[in-house]
Structure 1
Amino acid sequence: MAASSRGALAIRGLLRTSSPRLCRQCATTGLQIRAPKSWRAYSGAAAAASTATTPIDLPPTTTPTPSEPATPQQQQQQQHGKSHYRIQAGIILTRAPLLTAEETPFESAFYFYQKRLNERLSMPFVTSVYFKPDTPALIDWNLKVRDREGTVAKELGVYHGRSARAWDDELAAGDPLSSRAAVYDALLRDATMRVSDDAEIIPVDERVAPEAPRSRVTEADRAGDVARLDRALDRTLYLVVKGADGRWAFPAAAVATDEHLHETAKRVMDKTAGLDMNTWMVGRVPVAHHVVRPVLGEDGSLQKRGEKTFFLKARIMAGQANLAGNPFGYTEFKWLTAEELKASVDDKYYHSVRNMLADR
């Protein structure tokens, strides 16, 4: 397009002050576009005009499509009204693990390899930095290092990180040197003092061995007492109670009209297990739910109401459960692991809560 034609279009746009601005294509083709009517939003006449509907503003008519037939699940939901269910709130009271998990053979071998690798890469151990000369501590250290044939580490066996065989730092399959028991024995043997404060060698029968760590297996584990909290120290325990019907489940009760779910769960926990526990509610949002369908007669009449139970999670910090005087009819309680819980409750009940159980 020439420059003169562009100038003519610009002048034409300036002269048409009453018309809306047009693009170059609309101006050359002569397309007529009506400007919108000016109106004031606060005017009553404008409001009346805006509410009036013209045939052009009506949406296009569509032929109604026939509704699809309801599925059996939808028919069952329509049949079971809201009044056929009782809303309940339950509490899943847990005791967190007190010990770390038992190491697998692969983990033990890996950590042992890392320790020997550290012996190869670390600087030589300088005794003058840690021990004063001619002291009982230095004499005791020299005796223990001589028994280990010069190995500085206490639980690695005989290994020299700077020798020609330093590359051979892996254990053979089945070697018990990396086991927990072997590590305990090595550390306890090294912690026994062999030199007295007078720099004299203590006889073997007069040496005092340090106190060994307690066993991971407690007296409750040996006795099989599932009502105690000092059992399965490396696992998460869950409180379950035995109801009047003989079934084991988490404590639960119906939600009152003036209560929230977390308030009902707190009330159930206090009235079921007593106030002799220091507990903590993790949150106010349910972590699992369980649905029991209502029982209907042949004529569709309600025989027994169903239940929708929402479970909230809590932690026990101290204390113990006490079912004395509880108003829900619970007679016994247990602290169970996830595997023991699966064997104690119904299959459908466990299927509803299985996804919130901890891995260990």
Structure 2
Amino acid sequence: MMSRRLFTTSTRSLQQQTPLKIKNSRIAASVILTRAPQITRDATPFEMAYFDYKEKQERAAASVFPQEFYFKKGTLAERRWKEQVEARNAAMNDPSLSLTDAVDQTRASEDADGAAAAAAPVVQADRITKADKENDIKKLDRALQQNLYLIVKQQNKWQFPQTDMQASEYLHEAAERHLKEACGPDMDVWFVGRQPITHYKESPSRKEDTEGLKVFFMKARIYAGQVKPSKDVSDFAWLTKKELVDYLPSEYYNSIKDSLSDL
């Protein structure tokens, strides 16, 4: 009975180490791991013009604000309000001026004069990080307005994390296993479904080769943590879709580019 159990266990382990091949092609599982945008992107000139147009329409249709009820005569608050009203009225009569810019300029002049010293200044966070300025492609706090994608360098070749699928595995199991083996267990990762989102087919590179390769890509998102590469990974990078063109082989990139977001 014991020998039968050992035989069953050894047979199962051999099956797990057998790469899956279908029609003379090795089947590989890969992971497109994404860090989502962290901040809203900058508005385009058309979007800014449209928002300003809608804001002016709403102001023109709004009822008169009872300033006597809210501001005591002769106070600093009343003077600041009147200056903002004058700036808004000037912007309403000039299509080239925006209401937001008009109010911002008024507040900036008040701060310069020291008139608004009693009010706490509003400090806007920088949308360009230190990693952006240093072009540190290993940091996740860069390109905050766009998606970042993880690629790794294995066997002197850049690609998404990829491994041969074993005969006893499902695609998502192989992808999850390899991501932990190659990039470490310290990332909080969520796999979006169990179906591949795209694939890449590679024909034999030489005439004497009879074995091709089919890579199926699983989609995943990272929420926390960072890559801790194994000895099989010589380098890694977090890149935008535009930056991937400079690292990935053209045929490889063209097969998956439509599955990547431009943001």
- Give the TM-score band, short-chain normalised: 0.7 to 0.9
**1:179-328 pair list within 5 angstroms:** 182=101, 185-186=104-105, 189=108, 204=115, 209-244=120-155, 246-297=156-207, 302-303=208-209, 305-323=211-229, 325-326=230-231
For residues 315 and 190 of structure 1, the distance between their equivalents in structure 2, rounded to whole angstroms, comes to 45
For residues 251 and 190 of structure 1, the distance between their equivalents in structure 2, rounded to whole angstroms, comes to 53
Tell me the SS of whatever aligns to 1:87: strand
Amino acid at match of 2:195: V
For residues 280 and 318 of structure 1, the distance between their equivalents in structure 2, rounded to whole angstroms, comes to 10
Amino acid at match of 2:26: R
1:145 counterpart (74, 81, 87): 81
Distance 1:253-1:191 versus aligned 2 partners, 3 A rule: farther
**1:28-67 pair list within 5 angstroms:** none
C-alpha RMSD of matched pairs (Å) = 3.0
Matched, 1:120 2:64: no
Kept after mapping to 2: 8 A contact 1:242/1:332? yes
1:291-340 residue CA offsets vs partner (Å, 9 max, x unmatched): 1112454xxxx5363211000000001111110x35xx211111111110
Matched, 1:344 2:247: yes
- Which has the larger share of strand? 2
For residues 53 and 262 of structure 2, the distance between their equivalents in structure 1, rounded to whole angstroms, comes to 27
Per-residue deviation at 1:147?
Answer: 2.3
Tell me the SS of whatever aligns to 1:303: coil
Per-residue deviation at 1:126?
Answer: 1.6
Distance 1:320-1:239 versus aligned 2 partners, 3 A rule: same
Distance 1:146-1:127 versus aligned 2 partners, 3 A rule: closer
Higher relative contact order (CA 8 A, sep 6+): 2
Q: Tell me the residue number matched to 1:354.
A: 257
Kept after mapping to 2: 8 A contact 1:241/1:248? yes
Larger Rg: 1
For residues 143 and 240 of structure 1, the distance between their equivalents in structure 2, rounded to whole angstroms, comes to 57
Per-residue deviation at 1:260?
Answer: 0.1
Amino acid at match of 1:143: R
Matched, 1:85 2:25: yes
Per-residue deviation at 1:203?
Answer: 5.2
Q: Tell me the residue number matched to 1:100.
A: 40
Kept after mapping to 2: 8 A contact 1:113/1:169? no
1:215-247 residue CA offsets vs partner (Å, 9 max, x unmatched): 111111111111101111110110001111x22
For residues 221 and 163 of structure 2, the distance between their equivalents in structure 1, rounded to whole angstroms, comes to 19
Kept after mapping to 2: 8 A contact 1:188/1:212? no
Per-residue deviation at 1:128?
Answer: 5.3
Q: How many residue pairs align between the two structures?
A: 243
Per-residue deviation at 1:117?
Answer: 1.5
For residues 79 and 53 of structure 2, the distance between their equivalents in structure 1, rounded to whole angstroms, comes to 26
Q: Tell me the residue number matched to 2:6.
A: none
Q: Which runs of 5+ in 2 are unaligned?
A: 1-20
Amino acid at match of 1:139: T
Matched-pair identity in %: 32
Distance 1:350-1:187 versus aligned 2 partners, 3 A rule: farther
Matched, 1:331 2:242: no
Per-residue deviation at 1:178?
Answer: 6.8
For residues 254 and 269 of structure 1, the distance between their equivalents in structure 2, rounded to whole angstroms, comes to 12
Amino acid at match of 2:89: Y
Q: Tell me the residue number matched to 2:10.
A: none
Distance 1:203-1:295 versus aligned 2 partners, 3 A rule: closer
For residues 184 and 321 of structure 1, the distance between their equivalents in structure 2, rounded to whole angstroms, comes to 45
Kept after mapping to 2: 8 A contact 1:295/1:304? no
Amino acid at match of 1:347: S
Per-residue deviation at 1:359?
Answer: 2.6
Amino acid at match of 2:211: R
For residues 183 and 116 of structure 2, the distance between their equivalents in structure 1, rounded to whole angstroms, comes to 52
